[in-house]
Amino acid sequence: MDPKKTLGIAFLWHMHQPFYKDPLSGEYMMPWVRLRGVKDYFPMAALVDKFDVKVTFNLVPSLIEQINDYVHNNASDTYLDMTVKKASALSFQDKVFILNNFFHVNFRRFIEPNARYAELLIKKGVRPLSGAALKKVVMSFSDRDFLDLQVLFNMAWFHSISIESDTNLQKLVEKKEDYTEADKEYVINKHRQVMGQIIPLYKKMSDEGKIEITTTPFYHPILPLLCDTSVANVSSPGMELPRKFSHPEDAAWQIAEAVKYHTGQFGSAPRGMWPSEGSVSDKAIETIISKGIKWVATDEDILFRTLSLYDRKYKGMEYFDRRIIYRPYKIKKDNGSLAMIFRDKNLSDMISFSYNSWNPYDAAHDLIGHFRTTAQNLRRDTDEGLLTIAMDGENAWEYYEDNGRKFFETLYSNMDKDENVCSTTISDYLSFDPPRKTLSNIFPGSWINHNFEIWIGQEQDNVSWEYLSKVRKDLVKFTKGSGQPKEAWRELYIAEGSDWNWWYQGKAHKGGDNPFDKLYLTHLRNVYKILKKPVPDFLKISIA
């Protein structure tokens, strides 16, 4: 933080993917670690490296672990398997898979501007097909069509930063169609090359002090719910909950292993943590403090709810002066304390959901204008302030022109030009301006509507928690007195991740077409397979 500036701007880009791999089969059931790695995780760091700005990146250990698996163990995924197959050797089912999945890119940004890609989509049709109609469409696609589709889908995930630095990729873009198997091989090899640059680039920038890297509990669980699912009734009174699940020891494992893994990857322990989905509670904070984390970040609504419930000055208030979110707070517990940062939800959501439809130059300058206004409006008795932008670091950019490149280049190049505003990492700011106000309690909730309703309370979510509880009880029973097989416990910890419940109950495809449901049940079944025990019947039926 520049002491001459009034307002520090902390960008916290949260990078996360759930654990897509079935450790027993070695298969990655979904490709998003690879494709997001190429399109987002490498370019987001490369863009920061071009400018004199400071940024905080949150890298979830389950994401890093999978990136390393692709890089060091030559991991593959179902989509990659369908890509490397020669077009002339594709089976009927292979062709169905490719037609159903290789148009899964942003239509406006990647298909509509590409005449050949658009031609193939028109030929396939935009509606789901089955039976005779599906067979007719499959038969209408030539080997040339499938080969072009294999290449175009994977090409769509390259960022322009990668393309402009590689003349061969530029030639493939210019070629547009009639690709060869050799062209396809080059694209996939380039995917792996870019994947191999991700972690070294982040480490280099961290070592240089340009960025701060923070962590999240290892497999991205909702910590407050691991500690005690009944806490969900605080933010959602009367919500129907499953039988109580309360295993703070699992929360402690998820945090401790994250810190250990992060330290091994980057050479030092993380100071900060973005708890999964910004979810916090008093018990979760105590557990985080016990593992040496110095600060956490969450949503502004958590602060507002906390003050309205627990602070005499604000008790019962529904409306607040927004300037209270532009300062760090100390959360004090019996076992220690940490700093808590509250994001500016409005500006974070502008980037996530609104600026993509703007001219990127105008969007960047509008955001900087908001920063300037905030700096000017700070209280005179609060000479410094911290405005935190916290959001997913990968999902928004495909909706932007050129994956948000012009937006970021304009934003980063103009960030520090204002006399009152500068970029900062969160730890740098805290060393400059530590918390002055202490809170003894925190309202339990997440960054989504300050509650936990995405992950618990609906029928399918509650069934999921019941299954998790049953499997955990069996795991304890089967391993009592015989040592703990790490592989079986690892499968349980993976199943504690937040993403599986995110996609239940009207949030994804119903029935057997929910890949997250398949993955969740796969991890639970693997507990029994590893222990050589019969898989219970309830794990053989889709929750969705």
Give the pLDDT confidence score for residue 536 in this predicted structure. Answer: 97
Give the pLDDT confidence score for residue 318 in this predicted structure. Answer: 81
Contact 61, 258 (CB under 8 A): yes
pLDDT at 230 over 70: yes
Rounded Cα gap, residues 9 and 1, in angstroms: 9
Confidence of residue 510 (pLDDT cuts 50, 70, 90): low
Tokens representing 192 are 């792996």
pLDDT tens per residue, range 443-491 = 999 999 999 999 999 999 999 999 999 999 999 999 886 666 899 999 9
Name the more confident of 401 and 130.
401
Tokens representing 127 are 């509606």
Rounded Cα gap, residues 464 and 507, in angstroms: 14
Q: What is the mean pLDDT of residues 415-424?
A: 90
Confidence of residue 528 (pLDDT cuts 50, 70, 90): very high
Strand ranges in 7-95 using DSSP code E only, listed in sequence order: 7-15, 21-22, 27-28, 55-59
pTM above 0.75, yes or no: yes
Confidence of residue 426 (pLDDT cuts 50, 70, 90): very high
Q: What is the CA radius of gyration of the chain?
A: 24
- The rounded mean pLDDT for the chain is 94
Confidence of residue 4 (pLDDT cuts 50, 70, 90): confident
Confidence of residue 384 (pLDDT cuts 50, 70, 90): confident
Q: What is the mean pLDDT of residues 194-209?
A: 98
pLDDT at 509 over 60: no
Give the pLDDT confidence score for residue 312 in this predicted structure. Answer: 83
Confidence of residue 129 (pLDDT cuts 50, 70, 90): confident
Rounded Cα gap, residues 102 and 428, in angstroms: 43
Give the pLDDT confidence score for residue 5 in this predicted structure. Answer: 83
Query: Which residue has 């393309």 as its token pair?
Result: 163
pLDDT tens per residue, range 65-106 = 999 999 999 999 999 999 999 999 999 999 999 999 999 999
Q: What is the mean pLDDT of residues 374-386?
A: 81
pLDDT tens per residue, range 35-60 = 999 999 999 999 999 999 999 999 99
pLDDT at 208 over 90: yes
Closest listed residue to residue 294, CA positions, set 212, 227, 224: 212
pLDDT at 508 over 60: no
Strand ranges in 323-384 using DSSP code E only, listed in sequence order: 329-333, 336-343
Tokens representing 447 are 């960054």
pLDDT at 160 over 70: yes
Closest listed residue to residue 294, CA positions, set 326, 331, 324, 264: 331
3-state helix, strand, coil in the chain (%, to 5): 55, 10, 35
Give the pLDDT confidence score for residue 2 in this predicted structure. Answer: 78
pLDDT at 506 over 70: no
Percentage of the residues of the chain whose pLDDT score is greater than 70 = 97
Rounded Cα gap, residues 351 and 187, in angstroms: 31
Tokens representing 235 are 């933010």
Cα→Cα distances 241→223, 247, 299, 470, 527, Å: 16, 16, 24, 15, 25
Give the pLDDT confidence score for residue 380 in this predicted structure. Answer: 63
